[in-house]
Amino acid sequence: MRYLVFMSVVVAVAFWAMGCSGDRDPGPSARDSYEAAMASGKPVLLDFGADGCPTCVQMKPFVYKAISDYRGELEVVMIDTNVDRDLASQYRVRAIPTYVFIKPGGETVSRAMGFIEASDFDSKIRQFIDDHPPAEIN
């Protein structure tokens, strides 16, 4: 129990510290990419992270592989929580990385947090796409 409390404090302090680093340009917003993905009629994976997050950096190659492997079947939006705090708040992101799986039509169906082994990440995405195929767009 103490470990859980300790880790919660560590995550909260890290999140706060990343948000307080006012000396660097946070970069462009992902809002346009998010809106386009949500209107695409395809399943959407939101990847909430930040450059200063070691686990996010570790997961980046897996996310890029998913973008490549599932092109046309899945929309992936990488969201920097330092830039798009409104989206992070909307999806109740409390730790990073957080992955939010949204079926066509906008309903959140699952989420995952933290480091995920490459094969498990790929399996989770494949199952998500199989369960929620792209909607027919007329």
Tell me what pLDDT residue 29 has: 82
Kindly name the residue from 56, 59, 77, 78 that is annotated as catalytic: 56
Annotation says 56 is catalytic: yes
Annotation says 20 is catalytic: no
**Amino acid sitting at position 18:** M
Tell me what pLDDT residue 21 has: 42
Tell me what pLDDT residue 50 has: 94
Tell me what pLDDT residue 30 has: 86
Kindly name the residue from 53, 78, 96, 125 that is annotated as catalytic: 53
CB 97 within 8 A of CB 108: no
Say which residues have a Cβ less than 8 Å from residue 46's Cβ, sequence separation at least 6: 34, 77, 79, 87, 91, 99, 100, 102
pLDDT digits 0-9 by tens, 66-94: 999 999 999 999 999 999 999 999 999 99
Domain ranges of the chain: 29-131
pLDDT digits 0-9 by tens, 10-63: 455 455 444 444 444 445 688 889 999 999 999 999 999 998 899 999 999 999
DSSP three-state, residue 102: strand
Tell me what pLDDT residue 4 has: 52
**Amino acid sitting at position 132:** H
- Torsion angle of C-alpha atoms 46, 5, 54, 48, degrees rounded to 10: 10
Tell me what pLDDT residue 20 has: 43
Q: Domain 29-131 adopts which CATH fold?
A: Glutaredoxin (3.40.30)
